[in-house]
Amino acid sequence: MPVILNGNDFQKKKYLGRMIEEPLLCAYCVTEPGAGSDVASIKTKAVKKGDKYILNGQKMWITNGGVANWYFVLARTDPDPKCSPGKAFSGFIVERDSPGVTPGRKEINMGQRASDTRGITFEDVEVPAENLLTVEGAGFKIAMGAFDRTRPPVAAGAVGLGQRALDEATKYSMERKTMGQEICKHQAVAFMLADMCIGVETARLAVLKSAWEIDQGRRNTYYASIAKCLAGDVANMCATNAVQIFGGNGYNTEYPVEKLMRDAKIYQIYEGTAQIQRMIISREWLTQAKNKH
Protein backbone atom coordinates (compact mmCIF):
# COMPACT_ATOMS: atom_id res chain seq x y z
CA MET A 1 0.00 0.00 0.00
CA PRO A 2 2.81 2.56 0.69
CA VAL A 3 4.11 1.98 -2.85
CA ILE A 4 0.62 2.24 -4.36
CA LEU A 5 0.05 5.55 -2.60
CA ASN A 6 3.54 7.08 -2.66
CA GLY A 7 5.71 5.27 -5.18
CA ASN A 8 6.95 7.04 -8.30
CA ASP A 9 6.32 5.56 -11.74
CA PHE A 10 9.61 3.66 -11.73
CA GLN A 11 8.96 2.11 -8.32
CA LYS A 12 5.39 1.16 -9.16
CA LYS A 13 6.38 -0.47 -12.43
CA LYS A 14 9.25 -2.40 -10.89
CA TYR A 15 7.65 -3.58 -7.65
CA LEU A 16 3.91 -3.60 -8.31
CA GLY A 17 4.32 -4.78 -11.89
CA ARG A 18 6.05 -7.97 -10.86
CA MET A 19 3.17 -8.79 -8.48
CA ILE A 20 0.68 -9.07 -11.32
CA GLU A 21 3.06 -11.05 -13.52
CA GLU A 22 3.43 -13.87 -10.99
CA PRO A 23 1.95 -14.72 -7.57
CA LEU A 24 4.30 -12.71 -5.35
CA LEU A 25 3.76 -11.19 -1.90
CA CYS A 26 5.22 -8.22 -0.09
CA ALA A 27 5.39 -7.26 3.59
CA TYR A 28 4.99 -4.13 5.74
CA CYS A 29 7.89 -3.78 8.17
CA VAL A 30 7.18 -1.16 10.83
CA THR A 31 6.72 -2.93 14.19
CA GLU A 32 9.83 -3.77 16.21
CA PRO A 33 10.48 -5.81 19.38
CA GLY A 34 10.33 -2.61 21.41
CA ALA A 35 8.12 -0.43 19.23
CA GLY A 36 4.57 -1.33 18.26
CA SER A 37 1.95 1.30 18.96
CA ASP A 38 4.79 3.70 19.85
CA VAL A 39 6.10 4.15 16.33
CA ALA A 40 8.33 7.03 17.47
CA SER A 41 10.48 4.49 19.36
CA ILE A 42 11.61 2.69 16.22
CA LYS A 43 15.35 1.92 16.36
CA THR A 44 15.98 0.62 12.83
CA LYS A 45 18.17 3.18 11.09
CA ALA A 46 19.24 4.00 7.57
CA VAL A 47 22.42 5.99 6.90
CA LYS A 48 23.07 7.42 3.45
CA LYS A 49 26.40 6.61 1.85
CA GLY A 50 26.79 7.82 -1.71
CA ASP A 51 23.97 6.53 -3.88
CA LYS A 52 22.72 4.03 -1.31
CA TYR A 53 21.49 3.70 2.27
CA ILE A 54 22.90 1.27 4.82
CA LEU A 55 20.05 -0.28 6.79
CA ASN A 56 20.43 -1.82 10.25
CA GLY A 57 17.79 -2.98 12.70
CA GLN A 58 15.21 -5.58 13.59
CA LYS A 59 11.49 -5.80 12.84
CA MET A 60 8.99 -8.07 14.56
CA TRP A 61 5.55 -9.63 13.97
CA ILE A 62 5.85 -9.11 10.23
CA THR A 63 3.01 -10.72 8.28
CA ASN A 64 4.32 -12.53 5.16
CA GLY A 65 7.80 -12.08 6.60
CA GLY A 66 9.13 -15.36 5.28
CA VAL A 67 7.37 -15.43 1.94
CA ALA A 68 7.56 -11.80 0.76
CA ASN A 69 9.47 -10.86 -2.37
CA TRP A 70 10.15 -7.35 -1.06
CA TYR A 71 9.50 -5.25 2.02
CA PHE A 72 8.36 -1.74 2.90
CA VAL A 73 10.66 -0.74 5.77
CA LEU A 74 10.29 2.27 8.05
CA ALA A 75 13.64 3.44 9.39
CA ARG A 76 15.11 6.44 11.18
CA THR A 77 17.18 8.64 8.88
CA ASP A 78 17.64 11.59 11.27
CA PRO A 79 19.87 10.53 14.19
CA ASP A 80 18.77 13.45 16.37
CA PRO A 81 16.61 11.94 19.15
CA LYS A 82 14.83 15.29 19.50
CA CYS A 83 13.68 15.26 15.88
CA SER A 84 9.90 14.86 15.63
CA PRO A 85 8.52 11.55 14.29
CA GLY A 86 7.04 13.49 11.38
CA LYS A 87 10.56 14.26 10.12
CA ALA A 88 12.80 11.57 11.62
CA PHE A 89 11.75 8.54 9.59
CA SER A 90 11.87 7.48 5.96
CA GLY A 91 10.25 4.68 3.99
CA PHE A 92 12.24 2.26 1.84
CA ILE A 93 11.59 -0.61 -0.56
CA VAL A 94 13.93 -3.47 0.33
CA GLU A 95 14.44 -6.58 -1.79
CA ARG A 96 14.05 -9.84 0.12
CA ASP A 97 17.19 -11.33 -1.43
CA SER A 98 19.41 -8.40 -0.48
CA PRO A 99 22.54 -9.51 1.42
CA GLY A 100 22.03 -8.94 5.16
CA VAL A 101 18.27 -9.56 5.19
CA THR A 102 17.48 -12.48 7.51
CA PRO A 103 13.92 -13.61 8.31
CA GLY A 104 13.53 -15.33 11.67
CA ARG A 105 11.56 -18.48 12.50
CA LYS A 106 7.84 -18.65 11.81
CA GLU A 107 6.15 -17.58 15.02
CA ILE A 108 3.67 -19.98 16.64
CA ASN A 109 0.76 -17.72 17.52
CA MET A 110 -2.47 -18.23 19.42
CA GLY A 111 -4.58 -17.89 16.31
CA GLN A 112 -4.42 -17.17 12.58
CA ARG A 113 -1.68 -19.78 12.34
CA ALA A 114 -1.76 -19.88 8.55
CA SER A 115 -0.23 -16.40 8.60
CA ASP A 116 3.54 -16.43 8.02
CA THR A 117 4.56 -14.10 10.86
CA ARG A 118 8.24 -13.54 11.62
CA GLY A 119 10.92 -11.20 12.83
CA ILE A 120 13.23 -9.74 10.17
CA THR A 121 16.82 -8.68 10.81
CA PHE A 122 18.56 -6.12 8.60
CA GLU A 123 22.34 -6.11 8.97
CA ASP A 124 24.31 -3.63 6.85
CA VAL A 125 21.76 -4.00 4.06
CA GLU A 126 22.53 -1.82 1.05
CA VAL A 127 19.40 -0.13 -0.29
CA PRO A 128 19.66 1.90 -3.51
CA ALA A 129 18.71 5.56 -3.05
CA GLU A 130 16.16 5.08 -5.82
CA ASN A 131 14.23 2.83 -3.40
CA LEU A 132 13.49 5.71 -1.05
CA LEU A 133 9.77 6.54 -1.12
CA THR A 134 9.25 10.25 -1.91
CA VAL A 135 11.83 12.11 0.22
CA GLU A 136 13.74 11.68 3.46
CA GLY A 137 11.64 12.40 6.51
CA ALA A 138 8.31 11.45 4.91
CA GLY A 139 8.24 7.90 6.25
CA PHE A 140 5.94 8.45 9.22
CA LYS A 141 3.34 10.18 7.06
CA ILE A 142 3.59 7.39 4.47
CA ALA A 143 3.16 4.66 7.09
CA MET A 144 0.20 6.33 8.77
CA GLY A 145 -1.45 7.14 5.44
CA ALA A 146 -1.29 3.47 4.49
CA PHE A 147 -3.29 2.56 7.61
CA ASP A 148 -6.25 4.61 6.37
CA ARG A 149 -6.45 2.27 3.38
CA THR A 150 -5.61 -1.02 5.10
CA ARG A 151 -7.80 -0.73 8.19
CA PRO A 152 -11.11 -1.07 6.28
CA PRO A 153 -10.19 -4.44 4.71
CA VAL A 154 -8.82 -5.71 8.03
CA ALA A 155 -12.10 -4.64 9.63
CA ALA A 156 -13.93 -6.52 6.85
CA GLY A 157 -12.06 -9.66 7.89
CA ALA A 158 -13.23 -9.15 11.47
CA VAL A 159 -16.82 -8.78 10.26
CA GLY A 160 -16.46 -12.03 8.37
CA LEU A 161 -15.24 -13.81 11.48
CA GLY A 162 -18.14 -12.39 13.48
CA GLN A 163 -20.59 -13.55 10.82
CA ARG A 164 -19.09 -17.06 10.84
CA ALA A 165 -19.38 -17.22 14.63
CA LEU A 166 -23.00 -16.09 14.41
CA ASP A 167 -23.78 -18.66 11.70
CA GLU A 168 -22.18 -21.51 13.63
CA ALA A 169 -23.89 -20.52 16.89
CA THR A 170 -27.25 -20.19 15.18
CA LYS A 171 -27.01 -23.60 13.53
CA TYR A 172 -25.95 -25.28 16.76
CA SER A 173 -28.62 -23.53 18.84
CA MET A 174 -31.31 -24.80 16.46
CA GLU A 175 -30.09 -28.39 16.81
CA ARG A 176 -29.08 -28.64 20.45
CA LYS A 177 -31.95 -29.27 22.87
CA THR A 178 -32.23 -28.72 26.62
CA MET A 179 -35.30 -28.90 28.82
CA GLY A 180 -37.35 -30.24 25.95
CA GLN A 181 -36.67 -27.55 23.36
CA GLU A 182 -33.99 -26.13 21.09
CA ILE A 183 -31.69 -23.82 23.04
CA CYS A 184 -32.36 -20.95 20.61
CA LYS A 185 -35.85 -20.81 22.16
CA HIS A 186 -34.39 -19.99 25.56
CA GLN A 187 -34.34 -16.22 25.93
CA ALA A 188 -30.82 -16.24 27.37
CA VAL A 189 -29.45 -17.79 24.18
CA ALA A 190 -31.76 -15.88 21.84
CA PHE A 191 -30.56 -12.55 23.30
CA MET A 192 -26.92 -13.56 22.78
CA LEU A 193 -27.70 -14.24 19.14
CA ALA A 194 -29.48 -10.88 18.93
CA ASP A 195 -26.40 -9.08 20.30
CA MET A 196 -24.27 -10.85 17.71
CA CYS A 197 -26.65 -9.78 14.94
CA ILE A 198 -26.55 -6.16 16.10
CA GLY A 199 -22.76 -6.20 16.23
CA VAL A 200 -22.18 -7.84 12.86
CA GLU A 201 -24.64 -5.66 10.97
CA THR A 202 -23.44 -2.36 12.47
CA ALA A 203 -19.76 -3.28 12.02
CA ARG A 204 -20.43 -4.19 8.39
CA LEU A 205 -22.00 -0.78 7.79
CA ALA A 206 -19.02 0.92 9.44
CA VAL A 207 -16.67 -0.95 7.10
CA LEU A 208 -18.69 0.07 4.05
CA LYS A 209 -18.74 3.69 5.22
CA SER A 210 -14.96 3.77 5.73
CA ALA A 211 -14.37 2.30 2.26
CA TRP A 212 -16.94 4.62 0.66
CA GLU A 213 -15.10 7.66 2.06
CA ILE A 214 -12.02 6.54 0.12
CA ASP A 215 -14.10 6.22 -3.04
CA GLN A 216 -15.25 9.81 -2.55
CA GLY A 217 -11.62 10.96 -2.45
CA ARG A 218 -11.83 12.03 1.18
CA ARG A 219 -9.46 11.39 4.09
CA ASN A 220 -11.09 8.54 5.98
CA THR A 221 -8.94 8.35 9.13
CA TYR A 222 -11.91 8.83 11.47
CA TYR A 223 -14.14 6.25 9.78
CA ALA A 224 -11.31 3.75 9.22
CA SER A 225 -10.51 3.72 12.94
CA ILE A 226 -14.18 3.40 13.89
CA ALA A 227 -14.59 0.44 11.53
CA LYS A 228 -11.40 -1.27 12.72
CA CYS A 229 -12.19 -0.73 16.40
CA LEU A 230 -15.84 -1.73 16.23
CA ALA A 231 -15.31 -4.75 13.98
CA GLY A 232 -12.47 -6.07 16.15
CA ASP A 233 -14.56 -5.78 19.30
CA VAL A 234 -17.57 -7.35 17.60
CA ALA A 235 -15.51 -10.29 16.29
CA ASN A 236 -14.34 -11.04 19.82
CA MET A 237 -17.82 -10.68 21.29
CA CYS A 238 -19.31 -12.97 18.65
CA ALA A 239 -16.60 -15.60 19.04
CA THR A 240 -16.95 -15.57 22.82
CA ASN A 241 -20.73 -15.85 22.59
CA ALA A 242 -20.44 -18.68 20.10
CA VAL A 243 -18.20 -20.66 22.44
CA GLN A 244 -20.67 -20.02 25.26
CA ILE A 245 -23.64 -21.17 23.19
CA PHE A 246 -21.77 -24.35 22.26
CA GLY A 247 -21.07 -24.89 25.95
CA GLY A 248 -18.46 -27.56 26.71
CA ASN A 249 -18.34 -28.48 23.02
CA GLY A 250 -17.29 -24.94 22.21
CA TYR A 251 -14.12 -25.39 24.24
CA ASN A 252 -13.14 -28.46 22.25
CA THR A 253 -11.07 -28.52 19.07
CA GLU A 254 -13.53 -30.91 17.42
CA TYR A 255 -15.91 -27.97 17.01
CA PRO A 256 -15.17 -24.83 14.94
CA VAL A 257 -15.78 -22.00 17.38
CA GLU A 258 -12.70 -22.37 19.62
CA LYS A 259 -10.56 -21.57 16.57
CA LEU A 260 -12.71 -18.52 15.84
CA MET A 261 -12.13 -17.32 19.40
CA ARG A 262 -8.36 -17.69 19.01
CA ASP A 263 -8.39 -16.05 15.58
CA ALA A 264 -10.53 -13.13 16.75
CA LYS A 265 -8.17 -11.71 19.36
CA ILE A 266 -5.58 -10.40 16.92
CA TYR A 267 -8.19 -8.07 15.40
CA GLN A 268 -7.93 -6.00 18.59
CA ILE A 269 -4.14 -5.90 18.29
CA TYR A 270 -2.71 -5.71 14.77
CA GLU A 271 -3.19 -2.84 12.34
CA GLY A 272 -3.40 -0.56 15.41
CA THR A 273 -4.71 -1.77 18.76
CA ALA A 274 -8.27 -1.13 19.92
CA GLN A 275 -6.87 1.46 22.33
CA ILE A 276 -4.91 3.27 19.61
CA GLN A 277 -8.08 3.38 17.47
CA ARG A 278 -9.93 5.05 20.32
CA MET A 279 -7.15 7.62 20.64
CA ILE A 280 -7.40 8.38 16.92
CA ILE A 281 -11.21 8.55 16.97
CA SER A 282 -11.30 10.94 19.94
CA ARG A 283 -8.57 13.13 18.43
CA GLU A 284 -10.31 13.34 15.07
CA TRP A 285 -13.69 14.01 16.69
CA LEU A 286 -12.36 16.82 18.89
CA THR A 287 -10.51 18.36 15.92
CA GLN A 288 -13.78 18.39 13.97
CA ALA A 289 -15.58 19.90 16.94
CA LYS A 290 -13.01 22.68 17.32
CA ASN A 291 -13.20 23.51 13.63
CA LYS A 292 -16.96 24.00 13.93
CA HIS A 293 -16.56 26.73 16.54
Which is it for strands 101-103 and 89-95: parallel, antiparallel or unpaired? unpaired
DSSP state of 204: H
Residue closest to 41 by CA, chosen among 2, 75, 4, 64: 75
Query: Cα(225)–Cα(11) distance, rounded to whole angstroms?
Result: 29
Query: Cα(3)–Cα(141) distance, rounded to whole angstroms?
Result: 13
Determine the 3-state secondary structure of 48 from DSSP. strand
- Report, in this order, helix, strand and coil percent for the chain, each rounded to 5: 55, 20, 25
Give the active site residues. Answer: 271
- Beta strands in the chain, from DSSP E residues, in sequence order: 26-29, 45-49, 52-63, 70-76, 89-95, 101-103, 117-128, 177-178, 181-182
Burial class for 29, CB neighbours closer than 10 Å (0-12, 13-18, 19+): buried
Query: Cα(105)–Cα(159) distance, rounded to whole angstroms?
Result: 30
Amino acid at site 253 = T
